[in-house]
Amino acid sequence: MLGYLLARQGIDVTVLEKHKDFFRDFRGDTIHPSTLELLHELGILDAFLALPHQELTELAIAIGGQKMTMADFTHLPTRAKFIALMPQWDFLNFLSSEAIKLPSFHLLMEHEVTGLIESNGRVAGVRANAPAGPVEIHASLVVGCDGRHATTRSSAQLPLHDTGVPIDVLWFRLSRRDGEPENALGNINYGEFLLLINRGDYFQCAFIIAKDSLSTHIQPAGLPAFHESLVRLVPFLQDRVDEITSWDQLKLLSVQVNRLTRWYSPGLLCVGDAAHAMSPVGGIGINLAIQDAVAAARILAPALKSGAVTELTLAQIQRRRELPTRITQTFQVIVHYFLSRSLGNFAPVKPPLLLRLLTPHLLFRRFMARFIGMGVRPEHISA
């Protein structure tokens, strides 16, 4: 997105992607109303929504079998009043296909960044492994968008503040039948939490577990015990839990919440998970990263055109995006605390009194829809 926005203004951009394609399981795959609004502002929303997708108009959670609507997106002040559920490889293919129409945008696949090039005390480019062998790519600015295990931020030794996280997530798929829940439904009971995301003919499932408990408790108990826990939590899954025949079908996400205390050094800027690793709670991470990209493009474009990208320019981007990051991570940590208190308590649970009081009210559901769907300080495309 950042490369696309800069290339629209005639700035020469090269994007490096280490894989040969985007076809990987990104699991959550939620495109929030804030991102859909950006696509509308770019004039490409209709083309995007022509791709196969599902539309999520509300978020609901079942606690102890009692369904509670947490967010209603139908009242948002956006063109698309829903979360779009789409495999992220489709989203990335779509965005890159739009970007490569611009003559100043260059996408290099199978180019894995291995380190930074430094010259005269500043980052001056990157080293990468390419199909033909190692290459060096020089640039006036390097932007690290390479995720929570970012080579860019570790090579630059940027300072990191880490927040302890008490949970991990197991991702897997189960088939979906006609007439089953359309909207994402979280299920909390018996000390366990399972999220079901409608992906058409299957559910993308997120099973919350205590940190580092997969190898110490869950796998030793065996697959039949895991199947039983799923059925106990969501009974209508009984006729398909046997689709999981191997632990290899489950992908472990080791949840992190952290952020750089400084997102930049001379010639280098980190954004997205490279600057602030997010929990999957709320599916907010990719959308927060895109907001970073929009703010960065607006601030960087004049400086790149004049050839004067200073640390003050990069610091301005961090100041713009750090508060939304801190607020969002605080929300996620609070949810982690609630989930960690529930895990392992195998008695039936009841919805907390506070939720029972708040969820019937439209104002609460609208507030949560704005927070999750739009985020704190949503950005907009410059004309």
**Could you tell me the CATH number of the domain that includes residue 50?**
3.50.50.60
**Residue 271 belongs to some domain of the structure:** yes
Confidence of residue 184 (pLDDT cuts 50, 70, 90): low
**Residue 249 belongs to some domain of the structure:** no
Task: Please write down the HEC assignment for all residues of 268-299.
Answer: EEECHHHCCCCCCHHHCHHHHHHHHHHHHHHH
**Residue 233 belongs to some domain of the structure:** no
- Determine the distance from the C-alpha atom of residue 27 to the mean position of all C-alpha atoms in its chain, rounded to a whole number: 9
Examine the pLDDT at 26 and tell me if it is beyond 60.
no
Alpha carbon of 203 to those of 181, 189, 194, 358: distances in Å? 10, 19, 11, 28
**Residue 13 belongs to some domain of the structure:** yes
**Residue 66 belongs to some domain of the structure:** no
Determine the structural domain holding residue 343 and report its residue range: 2-54+76-163+256-347
Predicted confidence (pLDDT) per residue in 43-57, tens digit = 999 999 999 998 989
Q: Is 381 exposed, middle or buried (0-12, 13-18, 19+ CB in 10 A)?
A: middle
Listed range (28-37, 122-131, 188-197) with the worst mean pLDDT: 188-197
Q: What is the pLDDT of residue 340?
A: 80
Q: Rounded to an integer, what distance in angstroms lies between the CA atom of residue 259 and that of residue 289? A: 13
- For the chain, how many structural domains are there in total? 1
Overall average pLDDT of the 353-370 stretch:
93
Confidence of residue 28 (pLDDT cuts 50, 70, 90): low
Q: Which amino acid is at 40?
A: H
Confidence of residue 283 (pLDDT cuts 50, 70, 90): confident
Examine the pLDDT at 114 and tell me if it is beyond 80.
yes
Q: Rounded to an integer, what distance in angstroms lies between the CA atom of residue 221 and that of residue 54? A: 35
Examine the pLDDT at 33 and tell me if it is beyond 90.
yes
Predicted confidence (pLDDT) per residue in 228-239, tens digit = 999 988 889 999
Predicted confidence (pLDDT) per residue in 134-162, tens digit = 999 999 999 999 988 899 999 999 999 99
pTM: 0.91
Q: Rounded to an integer, what distance in angstroms lies between the CA atom of residue 245 and that of residue 224? A: 9
Q: Rounded to an integer, what distance in angstroms lies between the CA atom of residue 193 and that of residue 345? A: 11
What percent of the chain lies above the pLDDT cut of 90?
68
**Residue 274 belongs to some domain of the structure:** yes
Phi, psi of 126 (to 5 degrees): -135, 155
Mean pLDDT, rounded, of the chain: 91
**Residue 280 belongs to some domain of the structure:** yes
Q: What is the pLDDT of residue 197?
A: 83
**Residue 282 belongs to some domain of the structure:** yes
Examine the pLDDT at 383 and tell me if it is beyond 60.
no
Confidence of residue 113 (pLDDT cuts 50, 70, 90): very high
Task: Please write down the HEC assignment for all residues of the chain.
Answer: CHHHHHHHCCCCEEEEECCCCCCCCCCCCEECHHHHHHHHHCCCHHHHHCCCCEEECEEEEEECCEEEEEEEHHHCCCCCCCEEECCHHHHHHHHHHHHCCCCCEEEEECCEEEEEEEECCEEEEEEEEECCEEEEEECCCEEECCCCCCHHHHHHCCCEEEECCCEEEEEEEEECCCCCCCCCEEEEECCEEEEEEECCCEEEEEEEEECCCHHHHHHHHCHHHHHHHHHHHCHHHCCCHHHCCCHHHCEEECCCEEEECCCEECCEEECHHHCCCCCCHHHCHHHHHHHHHHHHHHHHHHHHHHCCCCHHHHHHHHHHHHHHHHHHHHHHHHHHHHHHHHCCCCCCCCCCHHHHHHCCCHHHHHHHHHHHHCCCCCCCCCC
